[in-house]
Structure 1
Amino acid sequence: MSHLRALGATLETTEEPGGPAHFAVTGRHPGEITARTSWADVLPGADAADEATVQAATGVMQVHGRRRGEPRGLAVDYAATCASVLTVQGLLAALIGRARGSAHGAHLTTGADRAALLTVSQYLAAANAPETEAVDLSPGGPPFTARCGTLFELEALDPAPWARFWRELGAPEESIRAGWRPFQFRYATACAPIPEALHRTAGTASWARVREAAELSGAEVCRVRSLSDRAAEEAAGAPWTLTPYDGPGSAPAAGPVPEGALPLSGLTVLEAGRRIQAPLAAHLLGMLGADVVRIEPPGGDPLRGMPPCCSGISARWLALNRGKRAVQIDIKSPAGRAELRELAAGADVFLHNWAPGKAEELGLDSDRLAAVNPGLVYAYTSGWAGRLADAPMGTDFMVQARTGVGAAVHPADEAPVPSLMTLLDVLGGLLGAEAILGGLLLRERGGRGVRVESSLLGAADTLTGPALRRAAAGAPPRRPAGFRRPLATADGWLAPSDDSAPAAQDRSARLRERTTDQAVAELRAQGLSATAVTTDLSALPQDRRLNGAFARDPHGALIIPSPWRFQ
């Protein structure tokens, strides 16, 4: 919420112990905007009492636990963190709408349950598509362990570096071929049943030999670092930066918001994104009313065909790109770059997550586009924001490994390894959208375009902030053994709230003899909080706890509920 104060808003916050937070924001324009954030906004309160129960009911525990083959809770407050960012987004959007003359959205409501459903939206979409997955969803996955015991993450974006890396280490050809597909799809499936022969091969090599193989092959490796390692480095700063362009104010007026429309209605966003981070940021801006134009290569985005599909379009792709208009442009050609600059001249936002230096190489950096549109909000969602000199490739799992996220998301009795759920791509996308909204608000107030940058590193530091502070103070940074570990029942799993977990654990033997419904009812009768753990994502739309909160698009793909309710 300090980000709102930095943008010139007056903020009042009240919070009931163990209950929802209430925010009141007043900007430089007349009128107050208020927000309410709670654990339960879609789910019943009894099933979303805290972070643990929200993770359990929405499927987060099931997705994070796929590597192990059974549900596991994230030992960080992921749903609450995402909900806080979404709340700021809603407030910023309402302030932008107010600055554009709209009275719509004077009060907004969101919840940690809505945020959690957003974080697993791709997994839910795939599980509820009419086709089956094209890859095995069995347990397993990186990281790998070198002979000396060093845990390391491996990254290769195409099969050639992958194969060269393993051949350098002497892995069997059959295992190299069999391992590529689950490795490649781990971003989409949150698991990677890689042949055990590859793990054995890594275990025969020294860490020095592993690094040599990576350098020779074009793959990249990163040692899985501890929270103490990260705490000893530079202090975490803001997760994004906003830099107004130099010179006099010259941003064109965006025009008023039509009566009853969402706060970003009438604004145009150009998005040249890939994977999750930038597409999700643009998707959120579209959900707030913006017209999103997606820049795709000739022939279209190849991820449109990623299985499973709904009416021939990837269910996962639709979860991030539904409702966007697409324009195919060859940005490698002079004509294509000229076409993109022409589109940028009439846009409000340009967003990309290209590799470092690519925008400058193409002549599509902020200075070049500001020359054709001084009022443009130019947004870059990066991996590292140029903050770490020795940073590896800026992808989700590499950033998790480098920043200690792998340690933070597991309790002390589990291996400190990156989650195969794309935690940082999603949180990075949320922070990217927040930063863009901040840039748009500054533009409305200052009359100048703004350069915006957010990063996966910023997302990692935001997520691990409490753990890093514990590490810096010399306290154990990781949660204790068994933290947020679901309890088995006769037919499934239940998750007690964090406060109820010790007492529920004492009853674990008896709970194994009860059905999940019986076990939850028994704990609640004893004054404890608990809910059933969702283990079948395909059944979640019919879950009585969600009371028909989902919808379907014209392709038949699942639509999660909006993160916000504006009134």
Structure 2
Amino acid sequence: MASPAITQTAQPLEGLRLAASGPPELAGPAAAHLRLLGAGTQTGRTGPGEDGAAHLALSGAGFSAQSAHVTWAMDRAGGITDEATVQAATGIMAVHGRRDGAPRGLAVDYAATATGVLAVQGLLAALVGQARGGPAARVDTSADRAGLLAVSQYLAAAGADEGEAAEIAPGGPPFTSADGTLFELETLDPGAWAAFWRALAAPSDAIRAGWRPFQFRYATACAPFPGALHTTTRAHTWQRIREAAAGTGAEVCRLRTLAERAAEHDGAAPWELAPYGSGHRIPRVTPTAARPLAGLTVLEAGRRIQAPLAAHLLGLLGADVIRIEPPGGDPLRGMPPTSSGISARWLALNRGKTAVEIDIKSAEDRRRLLGMAAEADVFLHNWAPGKAAELGLDHQDLAGVNPALVYAYTGGWGTNRIAGAPMGTDFMVQARTGVGEAARPLGEVAAPSLMTLLDVLGGLVGAEAVLAGLLTRERGGHGVRVDSSLLGASDVLLGPALRRARRGQEPRRPAGFRRPLPTADGWIAPADACGAAAAAYDLTSLPTGAALAQLRTHGLTATAVTADPADLHHDPRFAGSISRDEHGAPAVPDPWSLV
């Protein structure tokens, strides 16, 4: 088909019409993002629909109709019917519950939120493919695929050749001050860690023993450091703790409430798209329905999770991803546990990418990077704020060599939206924005999840933003500066809770919400609508299969809780889904299909 006409557009979906139907939990997040991107007024019906799926369609502006089909599970026979059962089956409850020593449900709709973002990604990618001369496509995605993607690093580690670098056992922040303030602590420097605790007179052996589990809590989703550290903070006021942090280079952040976040929330979209320059990239490869980004090149200079995951998703959609690594390669390649000598966690985010070593401190290598950017379609990074400008690698600099470039930054806090924000890492953003309160139901002490909720969701939102930038470029004929953040991801995740808070309603879910039930040999999770009724039965003497059968005889829906990500390999609910890569590391299926 011919490419749609090029138009000057500030929003990538301007002129397209949206029709959406199906369960609000699945259709709502995707429809909201499509409207933010410029799609016309939503039409259609809400409710479960005939097949229990959500259906989204975009049409108009010279594009063939694009549709997305969104379900809770690819296989509906496994009892996966809603957010609670998705979390249980995919291992989210197991990973989130590590700090507590038992599976625990997230009280926020994490899987459904991620699924909505994935559906939008698929639709945007298909439209980019059309704009480049490719065919229309139907997008299929499901919440169980989103859940597997969310735990992919933990699954990879569980199936690696060796054990974790730190113990997996109960424990972790937040800490509590003498005057009752709950707070998060963050530092990437062992010297700052030690200095902070010495300033509070913590025992030396506890300081030494605490660093390793604290350092690896991003990987293990728990931090079993000595109880003496908690005892130490309870002996000091919040003011004294803040002074100790300020004097040692560590950072602390009080856990904010959802009401506080709702009061300051500015309603901004989770990304910013700013067109600049002019020009088009000439398509080198005609895209297919399954690979709408084929022929596009993404340069990724990413660290840890957020930017590497965003680039990984773009690669799954067909882009060639070139990863910029420091001299000697990314140090995280060797992070335990490994598969065939390469970090299983690193492979989960970076398999299939081409790596090029660039010393960004070298003027010669920076010129080399500019030359690579001149031939690329996307430059994506998550360097520290201000670092790109300092190096002469900001969007203005790269626009000089490639005015059609989509320049994407995935950071912590976005553009000056939070005054005095702490370090923009996952757990600090969770603490500052109220995720720690939302993750647990009413009556429980707030605590940020040690599962990297925002790093993963931030990567998803980052990929969505890049795709929106690519479509803006294809339709408008100019380069685009794209900004996304962990703050934006937090606001997406907390949307329903913040709306409840602004209406004066209780923003948290009720006590006991989404709590797994023990059986004789494991755990089961009732569907949300069945939770209260299922909790009335004592299932502790029954094997899991018998417990599920008993609930079914009473018309209640539930599924078994995956207690260890390693068990996903042999789980009949995901038969044939989880494979191994060329290094032997477990690999989850693509989160969507485009046909």
Specify if TM > 0.5. yes
Structure 2 unaligned blocks of 5 or more? 1-30
Does residue 95 of structure 1 match 2:127?
yes
Cα distance, 1:253 vs structure 2: 2.3
Secondary structure, counterpart of 1:232 in structure 2: helix
Report the equivalent of 1:408: 438
**What secondary structure, in the 3-state scheme, does the structure 1 residue paired with 2:264 have?**
coil
C-alpha deviation, 1:372, in angstroms: 0.8
Indicate if the aligned counterparts of 1:12 and 1:23 stay in contact, CA closer than 8 A: no
Amino acid at match of 1:281: A
Q: Are 1:520 and 2:548 an aligned pair?
A: yes
| Preserved CA contact (<8 Å) 1:487 1:505 | yes
- 2:336 partner SS: coil
Q: 2:97 aligns with which of 65, 83, 86?
A: 65
Amino acid at match of 2:209: A
SS in 1 for 2:68: strand
Deviation at 1:15, TM superposition (A): 4.5
- The code of the aligned residue for 2:515 comes to R
**Amino acid aligned to 2:120:** V
The one-letter code matched in structure 2 to 1:95 is L
* Contact 1:13/1:23, CA 8 A, preserved across alignment: no
One-letter code of the match for 2:412?
A: G
CA-to-aligned-CA distance 1:70-124 (integer Å, 9 cap, x gap): 0000000000000000000000000000111111x51110000000110000000
Q: Map 1:448-487; keep pairs closer than 5 Å.
A: 448-487=478-517
Aligned to 1:182: 213
Task: From the superposition, tell whether residues 403 and 264 of structure 1 become closer, same or farther in structure 2 (CA, over 3 Å).
Answer: same
- Mapped to 1, the partners of 2:374 and 2:394 lie a distance apart of 14
Q: Distance in 2 between matches of 1:180 and 1:5?
A: 45
Contact preservation (8 Å) 2:63, 2:127: no
Measured in 1, the distance between the counterparts of 2:171 and 2:335 equals 21
State whether structure 2 residue 107 is matched by structure 1 residue 75: yes
Tell me, yes or no, if the aligned pair for 2:465 and 2:483 is still in contact at 8 Å.
Answer: yes
Name the residue aligned to 1:20: 53
* Cα distance in 2, alignment partners of residues 276 and 244 from structure 1: 27
Aligned to 1:283: 312
Whether contact under 8 Å (2:84, 2:526) holds in the other structure is yes
Question: In the alignment, which residue of structure 1 is the partner of 2:5?
Answer: none
Is 1:317 the counterpart of 2:349? The answer is: no
Q: Distance in 2 between matches of 1:4 and 1:472?
A: 23
Alignment partners' CA distance in 1, 2:72 and 2:33: 22
**Judging changes above 3 Å, is the alpha-carbon distance between structure 1 residues 148 and 260 closer, same or farther for their aligned structure 2 residues?**
closer
- Deviation, 1:427, is 0.5
Separation in structure 2 between the aligned mates of residue 297 and residue 561 of structure 1, nearest angstrom:
29
Pair 1:128-2:156 in alignment: no
- 1:247-266 to structure 2, matched below 5 A, reads 247=277, 249-259=278-288, 262-266=291-295
2:193 corresponding residue in structure 1? 162
Offset from partner CA, 1:226-273 (integer Å, 9 cap, x none): 11111111333100010100x5x3122234424565000100000011
Counterpart in 2 of 1:29? Answer: 62
Q: Shift of the alpha carbon at 1:521?
A: 1.1
Partner of 2:561: 533
Corresponding residue number in structure 1 for 2:533: 503
Distance of 2:37 and 2:100 partners within structure 1: 43
Give the aligned partner of residue 3 of structure 2. Answer: none
Q: 1:40 Cα shift?
A: 1.0
Q: CA distance change for structure 1 residues 200 and 500 in 2, over 3 Å: closer, same or farther? A: same
- Structure 1 letter corresponding to 2:221: A
Q: Which amino acid aligns with 1:158?
A: D
* 2:24 alignment partner in structure 1: none
Q: 1:112 aligns with which of 115, 130, 143?
A: 143
> 1:353-386 deviations in whole A, cap 9, x for unaligned?
1111111111111101111100000000011112
Identity %: 65
Q: Tell me the residue number matched to 1:300.
A: 329
2:406·2:481 contact (CA, 8 Å) conserved in 1? Answer: yes
Q: Is the 8 A contact 1:14 1:21 kept in 2?
A: no
Determine helix, strand or coil for the equivalent of 2:323. strand
Could you say which residue in structure 2 is the equivalent of 1:355?
384
1:336-347 maps to which residues of 2 (within 5 A)?
A: 336-347=365-376
| Paired position in structure 1 for 2:14 | none
Q: CA RMSD in A?
A: 1.4
Task: Using the TM superposition, give the Cα deviation of residue 545 of structure 1 relative to its aligned residue in structure 2, in angstroms.
Answer: 1.4
d(CA) in 1 for partners of 2:501 and 2:34?
Answer: 28
Choose which of 34, 39, 44 in structure 1 pairs with 2:72. Answer: 39
CA distance in 1, matches of 2:308, 2:444: 32
Q: Note the C-alpha offset of 1:5.
A: 4.3
Q: SS in structure 1 opposite 2:367?
A: helix
**Structure 1 partner of 2:454:** 424
Letter in 2 for 1:416: A
CA distance in structure 2 between the aligned counterparts of 1:539 and 1:234, rounded to whole angstroms? 40
Q: Indicate if the aligned counterparts of 1:47 and 1:54 stay in contact, CA closer than 8 A.
A: no
1:93 is aligned with what amino acid? A
Segments of 5+ residues of structure 1 without an aligned counterpart are none
The whole-number CA distance in structure 2 between the counterparts of 1:185 and 1:478 is 29
TM-score by length of 1: 0.97
Asked whether the equivalents of residues 290 and 593 of structure 2 are also in contact (C-alpha less than 8 Å), the reply is no
Are the equivalent residues in 2 in contact too, given 1:14–1:23 (CA < 8 A)? no
Match for 1:212 among 243, 265, 269? 243
1:378 pairs, out of 390, 403, 407, with 407
Contact 2:497/2:507 (<8 A) preserved? yes
SS class of match (2:348) = helix
Contact kept? 1:494, 1:533, Cα under 8 Å: yes
Question: Which residue of structure 1 lines up, in the alignment, with residue 265 of structure 2?
Answer: 234
Q: Is the 8 A contact 2:78 2:573 kept in 1?
A: no
The one-letter amino acid of 2:360's match is I
Return the offset for 1:346: 0.6
Letter paired with 1:241: E
Q: CA deviation at 1:13?
A: 5.0
Checking the alignment, whether the CA contact within 8 Å between 1:101 and 1:256 is kept in structure 2 is no
Q: Distance in 2 between matches of 1:416 and 1:254?
A: 50
Q: Which has the higher mean CA deviation after the structures are superposed, 249-258 or 474-483?
A: 249-258
Alignment length (residue pairs): 561
Q: Distance in 2 between matches of 1:312 and 1:550?
A: 21
Q: 1:192 to 1:397 in 2, by over 3 A?
A: same
The alignment partner of 1:23 has SS state of strand
**Aligned residue number for residue 334 of structure 1:** 363
Is the 2:257–2:434 contact (alpha carbons within 8 Å) kept by the matching residues of 1?
A: yes
CA contact (8 A) 2:129 2:289 kept: no
SS, match of residue 153 in structure 1: strand
CA distance in 2, matches of 1:143, 1:332: 37
For 2:570 and 2:388, locate their aligned partners in 1 and report how far apart those are by CA, in whole Å: 45
Distance (Å, rounded) in 2 between the aligned partners of 1:164 and 1:533: 41
Amino acid at match of 1:88: V
Matched AA of 2:567: A
